[in-house]
Chain A
Amino acid sequence: MINTIPIHYYLWLAAVLFSIGVLGVLYRRNAIIIFMCIELMLNAVNLVMVAFSSYMNDAAGQVFVFFIMAVAAAEVAVGLAILVMMYRNTKTIDINILNRLKW
C-alpha cells in the first residue's frame, strides 16, 4: 500500500508541517504553543526520515526516528518543568515577559 503513495506526497506534507511549526514559533507568544510547534517540526523531520527509510529500504532512518523521539520526550520533560517554574514565578507563560537576557 505504501508503494502506491509517491514519496513527494510525504515530503510536501512534512514541509507543510515544518512550516506551520516555524510560523507558530515565530508568531505565538504562549510558551506552551511554541513548545507544541517545536514538537511539530520534530515530527515533520521524523516523517521525512521514515518515508525515506521505506523508500530506500534502509532501516537506519527509522532507528534515528526512535532516537529523536526519545530525546524529544526528555526535552519535553525538561521544557515543561521550566514552564512550570516560569509560571510559578511570573504567573504567566508569555515569553515576552522574559526579556531580561540582555546587557
Chain B
Amino acid sequence: MVSIALLTSLVPFFPLLGFLIVAFRSKQLSHGVTSVVACGAVLISFIISIILFTHLLGITTGEQVIRVTLFDWISVGNFTASLSFLVDPLSSLMLLIITGVGFLIHVYSIGYMHDDGGFNRFFSYLNLFVFFMLLLVMGANYLVMFIGWEGVGLCSYLLIGFWFKNQAYNDAANKAFIMNRIGDLGMLLGVILIFVHFGSIQYSEVFPNATSVDTSTITWITILLFIGAMGKSAQLPLYTWLPDAMAGPTPVSALIHAATMVTAGVYMVARNNVLYALSPIALELIMIVGLATALFAATIALKQNDIKKVLAYSTVSQLGLMFLALGLGSFTAGIFHMATHAFFKALLFLGAGSVIHAMHHEQDIRNMGGLKKYLPITFITFLIGVLAISGIPPFAGFFSKDEILASAFEHNKHNKIVWAIAVLASLLTVFYMFRLLFLTFFGKPRADHHTIEHLHESPKSITIPLIVLAILSVVGGFMGVPEVLWGSHWLSGFLAPVFAPSTELIEAHHLSHATEFILMGTVVFFTLVLIGIAYHRYVSRNHVPAADNQPLGALPNMLSNKYYVDELYDFIIVKPLYWISGLFDQIIERSGIDKLVNTIGNSVVPLSNVARLLQSGGIGYYIFVMVIGIVVILTLAVIR
C-alpha cells in the first residue's frame, strides 16, 4: 500500500509529467500518443483524488486533513516557506472537480481539436494548466497558492491566444493577462501583509492566530486578497477580460473560463473564511460586488448574439452569485454553487463547442436555429445544462442557487433588497439561457444551405463528455439537498470542519421551513413564467435579434454594447495612458535622456581634439610635465 503522503504529492506530479512529455516531444508525438499521455495524466490524478477523497471520508477521529511537506523551499531566519500540500474537505472537493471535469474536457478536446495544427501544443498547455490549478488548491501556504494563481493566469493567457495568428485573439489574451495582473498585485500585497503581521504564510499558523490581529489589519488583508479574486474571478470592475477570453478554443473556455480557474477566487475566499469572518466590512464589500456583478452581467447577456459571449456573461453573473453567497457568510452555499456550476457551465460550453464544431465555426445564434434535429445528443445535453442553470428542480443548479437565495433572504430581517436583486439576476439568467436555447435549437434553420447539408452530430469523444456532464448536472445537486426537502445536506456536513472557525463568528439565521418553501415556490413559478415568455417570443413568434447595423432602442443598444464599459475603460485608462506615454516619449525620452546621451557622445570628439594636443610625443616635454607634477604633489604633501 502506497502511503497517502506519496499519493498526495503525485496528484500534481502527473499533469506536470504529461506537460513535460508533450511539450518537449511536441514535434515527434503523434496525435494518438499525445491524447493518451495528456488524458491519462489527468485521469491518474482523478483516480488518486478519489482515493484521497475516500481516505478523508474514512477519517472519523481527529482532523480531516492530509498534510504533506515535500521540502523547505525558502528558509531565512525563523521564516520558512515550504513546498507543502494540504488536502482537507474543501481542497479535496476542488481536486475532484478539477481533475474530473478536467479529464472530461481533455477527452472532448481530442475530438474538438483533431484537425488543428497545434494539437500537441494545446494539450501541453492544458496539462500545465491542470498542474498549476492543482498547486493552487493543494498549497498549504500562500506561496504555493500564489504560484498556482500566477501559473493558471499564464496558461489562461497562452490558451486564449492559442490561435496567435489572429491579432484580435492576441489582444484578448493580453487583456486577460493585464487585468489579472491588476488583481494579482492586490493579492500579492495581501500575502505580504499577512506575512508582516503573522510572521508566517502557512495556513496552519495564520488561521488559528487570526483573532490576535486587530480588525483593521484583517480588513486590509481580506480586501487586498479579494482584489486578487476580482481579477481572477472576473468581478466588477475587472470582469471585462472574461468575455474577450472566449477567443480561445471552446474547451479552454469550458475548463479555464467556466469550471476551474475563474472559481479560484471563490476557493481563495472560502479558504480564508476565518479572516473574512473577522472582517464584516470585507464581507459587505464582497456581497455588494458579487450582487452588482450578478445583475450587471446578466443584463448584458440578454442582448448578446454570440453563443459563447452569452455563456461568458452568464459565467460572470454566476460567479457574482457565488461571491454574494460568500459575502453573506454562507461559504458552503458558495462552494456548492461553484461545484454545480462547474458541471453545468462546462456542459453548456462543451455543448456550444459541439454546435460551433458542427456549424463550421459559426458562433452567431442569429445564423443558427432548428439544430435540434441535426444534433440530438448535443441538444438534449444542452437542454439539461440550461435547465440546471435556470434552477428547475431537481437539476443541480436548483439546490445551489436556492441555497444562495435563501441566505440572501435571511441576511437582513427588514430589508429584502439583496434578495430581490439576487432573484432578479437569477431570473434574467433563466431568460437569456432559454433565449439562447430557443434561438439555437428551435425554429427554422437560418444557416445557409451549404452549412445545413454538412450538419452532423459530433464524434463520440465530444458527445460522451457531454453525456457524463449532463448526468452530473442532473444529480450534482443531490450532494446538498436542504433539510426542508427532506435531505441532509451532505456537503455542508462534509465541509463543516473547514468552515467551523468562521461559523462560530458569523451569527446564523434560520428560516422556517414554511418560508423556505414559499421562497422556492415563488422563484420556480417565476422561472417557469419566464420560460413561457421566452418560448412565446423566440419560438412561437420566431423573433430573431436584429442584425448589428439595425437601430435598437436606447436600452437594448446599451446592453448589446455591454454598457460601453470597454469604451469607458479605453477612454479613462487606456487613452490617457497612451497619451502620457507619448508625452514621456517626447519629453523625457527624446529631449531628456536621448539628448543628454547624444550631447555627451557628441562632445567627446571636440574635447578629445583638444586633449590630444597634450600628447605631443616630445620626450623632454613629458619629463618636464612629470617633474612639475612631482613638485606639485610634494608641495601639497608638505603644506598639508
Contact = CB atoms under 8 A, between A and B. Distances in A.
Interface of A: 22, 25-26, 29, 95-96, 98-103
The DSSP consensus for interface residues of chain A is loop
Given A26-B624, A26-B627, A96 B619 contact: yes
Contacts of B620: 26, 29, 95-96
A100 B617 CA distance: 6
B618 interface: yes
Nearest to B631: A22
Given A99-B617, A103-B612, 14 more contacts: A22-B627, A25-B623, A26-B627, A29-B620, A95-B620, A96-B620, A98-B619, A99-B616, A99-B618, A99-B619, A101-B617, A101-B619, A102-B615, A103-B615
**B: interface residue count bin:** 10 to 19
Interface string B611-634: 010011111100110010000000
Contacts of A29: 620
A96 B623 CA distance: 12
A25 B612 CA distance: 24
A26 B623 contact: yes
9 shortest interchain CB distances as A-B pairs: A102-B617, A99-B617, A95-B619, A102-B615, A101-B617, A103-B612, A99-B618, A26-B624, A25-B623
Contacts of B616: 99, 102
The DSSP consensus for interface residues of chain B is helix
Contacts of A26: 620, 623-624, 627
Nearest to A28: B620
Nearest to A27: B620
A25 to B, nearest CB: 6
Contacts of A25: 623, 627
Interface of B: 612, 615-620, 623-624, 627
Contacts of B619: 95-96, 98-99, 101
Contacts of A96: 618-620
Nearest to B622: A101
Contacts of A100: 617
A77 B619 CA distance: 21
B345 to A, nearest CB: 77
Nearest to B614: A102
20 contacts: A25-B623, A25-B627, A26-B623, A26-B624, A26-B627, A95-B619, A95-B620, A96-B618, A98-B619, A99-B616, A99-B617, A99-B618, A99-B619, A100-B617, A101-B615, A102-B612, A102-B615, A102-B616, A102-B617, A103-B612
Contacts of A98: 617, 619
A22 B624 CA distance: 9
A79 B615 CA distance: 23
A26 B624 CA distance: 6
A100 B615 CA distance: 10
Contacts of A22: 627
A30 to B, nearest CB: 11
A29 B620 CA distance: 8
Contacts of B624: 26
Contacts of B612: 102-103
Nearest to B615: A102
A26 B618 CA distance: 12
A33 to B, nearest CB: 12
A43 B612 CA distance: 36
Nearest to A25: B623
A80 to B, nearest CB: 17
Contacts of A102: 612, 615-617
A99 B616 CA distance: 7
A40 B624 CA distance: 17
A74 B627 CA distance: 23
Nearest to B619: A95
Contacts of B627: 22, 25-26
